[in-house]
């Protein structure tokens, strides 16, 4: 089987999946792995609450398990990284969360990063996650040297924001797909 | 309605529920809230993996929602605190996780606490959770001044361990039910 | 001897002791331990400086030692937790400080806690104490998800503040007495 | 000009440069940026001391400046990341250090990472660097979930180590070149 | 009045005061401040428990206040730094604790420091203090690059230990008196 | 040879050297070590960028090596502490950086310190350095209890600032020379 990165949008909004596909378009490599963006039909229309985050894991896991023998890596394209540790535990292939990947890339681009969140209530959830990753000292309270887009469907605003703000802006979907490719390349190297 | 603390064992093992009921027996207060320990029939036989932790949230949430108008507080009696933030978001009553509660009580009993885990693979999960709570500096690497039992059904070993080791041993179920009672008392005070 | 929680107000202001007694009124348990609030006659009128904090330990210790064979637990009802480690070292019964207890309870109620201090000069003292407890990451700089009242005699404002601010407010006296009860219950369980 | 990643081995040992070229061979992308590995002729035979780290910056900077208008990104292929902040300041193109990149990739592969160092005296230098990056909580003291090779010329041992140890092993050169490619792809995306 | 550094041994053991006087002998500066080492007659024979630490503050404060108009700086020569913040609050002259000073000097001599403690039960007290100072990351758990003698009367062993261990050893009394002199010099500079 | 502290101004501006000499004038001790302030002729006119910091190490090291057999200690009088670890590695005598020394002294004078920087772009460099020293928790974000002058030639403003702001202000040159003297005294004690 040729290699394939499966990018799963865990909400059921096809338009977000289209945005995600658009975001990773420029990352496709000739001869490299296919990048397929799919929608989790059983997902909620948007992942906006902790309940959404937690309850989407089960259908996400089912989809990932069903597809896993036809995938070389999985990217979970939601900024809450729902099910990241479950999928890592359940699958034998690399699993990338877009928030974790976004942070990893942001670390190499500036001293402290910020997160643009759509909903205020996501902030404590993001902060807990950053703390669990041991990255609290790099999360900026107010002024940031680099921004991470806190949502899977914002890539089309990345360049404009970067231009307007004059600081690096990281789209987490691109970060995750890129890291997935990189991991596959390194494994095959 | 008189007050009632609903203690949910999220695994389907009735014997663990019985152990839990036993652990909280001594905490019942005359004239205080009822303490009812129930089993989540849809839960796995044991919560041993990250997949168990994540996928149990949905049935746990359904049970909690169904019972919430007959409960004054909920205790999630599994050391991974599955669904803690979801239940807090979804319910209007206090929700206590036994790990979080166990840590809170342990903080007042010694300088650094340790966790007795049944399974080695739980250790990184516990460590991430402790880090997300900002309590990493109080988690002992090797020697501990106070121990937290890392499971819902270990209370009956608490005293013997305490005696044998000569250090405080915290049963997280007792800690959580006690904190639930305390919160109810304070709210009514 | 039946069980008894001795709550010591280390300042000599009887009115504060009355406030404290009022704060714990709702925590009394039928058949549970007696809760006696006493005033340290040798204490200063208020504990407002580091000198007060340090010099009150000796008379506090004398009182605690004198009473210890008639007490099952001691609560030090001053937010600086004066003599907490000395009393723990000197007595064979559990000793609870209201600040430490307040923080422990606050940890389970929101992401980051704040402290309402009466005097500005207390702030560095509180900050050093929170740091020594390893809880700095949970102390909010400016906006808080949960407030801890930074004084022993503020319980009567708790509900109004909670209502006005819309966030949980923890009275440390109630937290400490509640934790003392809980510890006694667990030991007897 | 077509895109080109310039990988600089800051020591003068051509054999190490050959090892580096070998390590990144599998990362080349059809139609992607060229990856050219060059040796810093003025560098010391090996970068083993703090003096080597500090004094190599000047010739490294000269080389990077001279080549910068013919490069799209620079990778500094030495685990001490010599001159990383200087080159970032002096050049208008992305600059990647292999240690920083290795850590970023390692963060996504396990809970805590370790570093295999050739020389014992490098350990405090690595620890200071990890601390300056705010990643101390992810650096394992003794047991590691993922290993970072602490040298530019070790990639050929990566797979064997990974197989032998049963944990992920990150070659920092591959991490840095991969992140450089990724950054270029994202900028062009 | 000519300048005078008052070094107070807060235990009543004259032999320790003699050791302290010996330790600072080499720090006397021609034309510099007098260095007078005095014994706190009301102190306990040794400061070995938390109760000693807390209850010595009152007589220490009385002595310091009585002497303060004849002193330019005070050094508290006990490794628990008893009353440090109280004396700073009560006096208008600089007050130096030997532990705090020892840590400050140790920070400039190696990456991580250790503490040689006489009594095992002092270890949690030291750890809490180091944490309250925000220096936990520099305290070595097991292996240390620099040692701080954890007692006021150990200076005579400093050189032998340094020689035997091959790492810097800091005597906290010398550190504190030296910092006191330095502060006076800077103020007069 | 009698003892001598060599203070090196690593920029080529003689006026800054004169300021430095002035700053340490009051620290000279009768019969104590000579304090000689010298200019690094090969240094840049000012050390304002990371490139300056990194590229000044080589000539600084040459000067220090050339002078080391006629010096008992070296002070690097630039707030970026350029070459601190290299000189420590290369020389057998104590080497003090003025920033590190300034921080060590500041720690004993207030709870949190701030840094007055001349250039905004120095801020991330200072922050990384403070983090690498493990002192991040003591660095104030906005309000500071004690200020460290972030430059070698600012000592003459120290007293006025201290008077104006009402908080301690630490000149790092004085701190470093004082610590150098202290270390020599202790070694000879």
The answer to whether the CB of E132 falls within 8 A of the CB of C129 is: yes
Percent of chain D past pLDDT 70, that is, above it, reads: 97
A32 and A77 part of one domain: yes
If asked whether residues F56 and F73 sit together in one domain, one would say yes
- ipTM over the 0.95 cut-off: no
CB pair distance less than 8 Å for A137 and F131: yes
Q: How confident is the model at residue F175 (pLDDT cuts 50, 70, 90)?
A: confident
Q: pLDDT at position B39, please?
A: 96
Among B137, B141, B145, beta carbon nearest to E131? B137
Q: What is the pLDDT of residue F142?
A: 55
* Ranges A123-132, A150-159, B57-66, E160-169, most confident: B57-66
Where helices occur in chain D by DSSP H, the ranges are: 14-24, 50-55, 57-67, 84-90, 98-107, 122-132, 158-165, 172-188
Report the run of H or E that residue C132 belongs to, with start and end: helix C122-132
Residue B101 sits at φ, ψ, to 5 deg, of -65, -40
Q: Please tell me the distance in Å from F132's CA to the nearest CA on chain E.
A: 10
Report the gap between the CA of F111 and the closest CA in chain C (Å): 7
Q: Could you give the percent of chain A with pLDDT greater than 90?
A: 46
φ/ψ of residue C159, rounded to 5: -65, -40
Of the pLDDT bands very low, low, confident and very high (cuts 50, 70, 90), residue D46 is very high
E137/D141 touch (CB, cutoff 8 Å), yes or no: no
**F187 pLDDT more than 80:** no
Where does the pLDDT of residue B157 fall: very low under 50, low under 70, confident under 90, or very high at 90 and above? Answer: confident
Chains D and B touch (3+ CB pairs under 8 A): yes
CA C143 to chain centre: 23
Q: Are residues E67 and E142 in the same domain?
A: no
Q: Are residues D12 and D93 in the same domain?
A: yes
CA max distance for chain A: 47
The confidence score (pLDDT) of residue E82 equals 95
Q: Which of C120, C165, C114 is nearest to C141 (CA)?
A: C114
- Asked if the Cβ–Cβ distance from E136 to B137 is below 8 Å, we say yes
Check whether A44 has a pLDDT greater than 90.
yes
Name the residue in chain E with its Cα closest to that of F168: E187
The mean per-residue pLDDT over the stretch D31-50 comes to 92
Chains that touch E (3 or more CB pairs under 8 A): B, C, D, F
Query: What is the overall mean pLDDT for chain B?
Result: 87
Shortest alpha-carbon distance between residue D111 and chain B (Å): 7
Name which of C110, C111, C166 to mutate to probe chain A: the one with the most chain A Cβ atoms within 10 A of its Cβ: C111
CA distance B51 to A86: 5
Inspect the interface and report whether the beta carbons of F107 and E105 lie closer than 8 Å: no
The pLDDT of residue E32 is 84
Q: In what order do the strands lie in the sheet with D113-116?
A: D113-116, D146-149, D169-170
Q: What is the pTM of this model?
A: 0.88
Q: Note whether B20 and B37 are within 8 A (CB).
A: yes
Highest average pLDDT, of A177-181, D127-131, E77-81, F55-59, comes from F55-59
Task: Pull the structure tokens for residue E40.
Answer: 């706190």
Which residues from chain A sit within 8 angstroms of residue B125, using beta carbons?
85
E102 close to E172: Cβ distance less than 8 angstroms: yes
Confidence of residue E17 (pLDDT cuts 50, 70, 90): very high
In C, what residues contact A, Cβ < 8 A?
A: 111, 137, 141, 145
pLDDT at B44 (0 to 100):
95
Per-residue pLDDT at D43 exceeds 90: yes
- CB-CB neighbours of A119 under 10 Å: 12
Residues F165, F176, single domain; the answer is no
Q: Which two tokens stand for residue F72?
A: 């008992």
Is the Cβ–Cβ distance between A64 and A34 less than 8 Å? no
pLDDT at E43 over 90: yes
Binning pLDDT at 50, 70 and 90, where does residue A70 land? very high
d(CA D56, CA D67): 17
Q: Cβ–Cβ of D89/F57 closer than 8 Å?
A: no
Q: Cβ–Cβ of B103/C107 closer than 8 Å?
A: yes
Is A45 found in the same domain as A28?
A: yes
Measured between beta carbons, the chain E residues lying within 8 angstroms of C54 are: 54, 57-58, 61, 83, 85-86
Find chains touching chain C: ≥3 CB pairs under 8 Å: A, B, E, F
Give B-chain residues touching C100 at CB under 8 angstroms. 107-108
pLDDT in tens, B107-154: 888 888 888 877 778 888 888 999 999 998 888 765 587 888 877 777
**Residues of chain F neighbouring A141 (CB-CB closer than 8 A):** 141
Give the closest of E111, E137, E141 to D124, CB-based. E111
**Alpha-carbon distance C50 to E83, whole Å?**
9
Contact E124 B141 (CB under 8 A): no
Section E4-27 average pLDDT? 91
D137 vs B131: CB contact, 8 Å cut-off? yes
Residue B173 CA to residue B177 CA, distance in Å, equals: 6
Q: Do F128 and A111 touch (CB under 8 A)?
A: yes
Q: What number of other Cβ atoms are within 10 A of residue B185's Cβ? A: 22
Give the pLDDT of residue C3.
86
The shortest C-alpha distance from C50 to chain E (Å) reads 5
- Number of Cβ within 10 Å of residue B26's Cβ equals 14
Verify that B75 and B143 share a domain, yes or no.
no
Three-state SS string across chain E, please? Answer: CCCEEEEEECCCCHHHHHHHHHHHHCCCCECCCEEEEEECCCCCCCCCCHHHHHHCHHHHHHHHHHHHHHCCEEEECCCCCCCHHHHHHHCCCCEEEHHHHHHHHHHCCCCCEEEECCCCCHHHHHHHHHHHCCCHHHECCCCCCEEEECCCCCHHHHHHHHHHHCCCEECHHHHHHHHHHHHHHHHHC
Q: Give the neighbours of chain A: at least 3 Cβ pairs within 8 Å.
A: B, C, D, F
Asked if A136 lies within 8 A of C137 by C-beta distance, the reply is yes
Touching chains E and A? (3+ Cβ pairs < 8 A)? no
Q: How many interchain CB pairs under 8 A, B with C?
A: 101
Compare CB distances from F49 to D57, D89, D131 and report the shortest one's residue.
Answer: D89
Sheet holding B4-9, edge to edge: B34-39, B4-9, B73-76, B95-97
Given pLDDT bands bounded at 50, 70 and 90, which one contains residue C18?
very high
Q: Are F86 and F54 in contact (CB under 8 A)?
A: no
What is the per-residue pLDDT for A141? 65
Residues D78 and D155 reside in one and the same domain: no
Q: Which of B170-184, D13-27, D40-54, D158-172 shows the lowest per-residue confidence on average (mean pLDDT)?
A: B170-184
Neighbouring C-beta atoms of residue A70, cutoff 10 Å:
10
Average pLDDT over residues F159-164: 87
- Tell which of F107, F109, F110, F111 to mutate to test the C interface (max C CBs under 10 Å): F111
Please say if the pLDDT value at position B33 is more than 60.
yes
Same domain, A87 and A159: no
Q: How confident is the model at residue B41 (pLDDT cuts 50, 70, 90)?
A: very high
Find the domain containing E117 and state its range.
100-171
Q: What is the mean pLDDT of residues A139-149?
A: 76
Q: Which residue of A has its CA nearest to F132?
A: A137
User: Is F137–C136 a contact, with Cβ atoms under 8 angstroms apart?
Assistant: yes
* Least confident range of E19-23, E84-88, E103-107, F117-121: F117-121
My answer on whether B179 and B134 are in the same domain is: no
- Say what the pLDDT of residue A16 is: 92
pLDDT of F85 higher than 60: yes
CATH (domain of A39): 3.40.50.12500
pLDDT of F62 reads 97
Phi, psi of B179 (to 5 degrees): -65, -35
Q: Is the pLDDT of residue A64 over 60?
A: yes
Contact check, Cβ <8 Å, B141/D137: no
Closest partner residue to E111 (CB to CB) among D128, D136, D141 is D128
H-helix or E-strand spanning residue F16: helix F14-24
What mean pLDDT is reported for chain F? 87
Tell whether the model's pLDDT for residue A27 goes beyond 90.
no
Are F53 and D86 inside 8 Å of each other by CB? yes
Model confidence at B9, pLDDT cuts 50, 70, 90, reads very high
Contact D80, D47 (CB under 8 A): yes
Residue C10 has pLDDT above 80, yes or no: yes
CB-nearest to F134 from E23, E26, E135 is E135
pLDDT at residue A89 above 60?
A: yes
Number of domains in chain B: 2
Q: Are chains B and F in contact at 3+ CB pairs closer than 8 Å?
A: no
Q: D37 pLDDT exceeds 90?
A: yes
Cβ contacts of residue D58 below 8 Å, gap of 6+?
F54, F55, F58
Q: Vertex D178, ends D176 and D179: CA angle to 5°?
A: 65
D170's enclosing H/E stretch is strand D169-170
* Same domain flag for A108 and A66: no
Residues A8 and A70 reside in one and the same domain: yes
B102, pLDDT greater than 60: yes
Which among D109-123, E1-15, F51-65 has the top mean pLDDT?
F51-65
pLDDT digits (tens, 9 = 90+) for E121-156: 888 888 899 999 999 888 876 558 888 887 777 888
- Find the CB nearest F124 among A111, A137, A141: A111
Q: Which chains touch B (3 or more CB pairs under 8 A)?
A: A, C, D, E
* pLDDT in the model for residue F1: 52
């Amino acid at each position: 089987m040729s290699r394939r990165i499966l990018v799963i949008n865990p909400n059921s909004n096809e338009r977000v999946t289209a945005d995600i596909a658009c975001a990773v378009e420029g990352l496709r490599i000739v001869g490299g792995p296919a990048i397929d963006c799919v929608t989790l039909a059983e997902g909620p229309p948007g992942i906006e609450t902790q309940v959404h985050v937690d309850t989407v894991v089960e259908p996400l896991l089912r989809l990932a398990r069903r597809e896993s023998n036809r995938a070389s890596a999985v990217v979970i394209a939601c900024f809450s990284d729902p099910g990241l540790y479950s999928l890592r535990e359940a699958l034998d292939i690399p699993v990338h969360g877009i928030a974790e990947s976004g942070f990893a890339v942001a670390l190499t681009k500036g001293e402290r990063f910020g997160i643009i969140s759509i909903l205020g209530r996501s902030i404590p959830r993001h902060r807990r996650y950053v703390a669990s990753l041991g990255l609290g000292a790099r999360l900026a309270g107010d002024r940031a040297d680099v921004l991470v887009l806190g949502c899977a469907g914002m890539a089309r605003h990345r360049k404009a924001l970067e231009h307007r703000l004059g600081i690096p802006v990281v789209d987490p979907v691109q970060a995750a797909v890129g890291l997935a490719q990189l991991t596959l390349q390194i494994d095959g190297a």
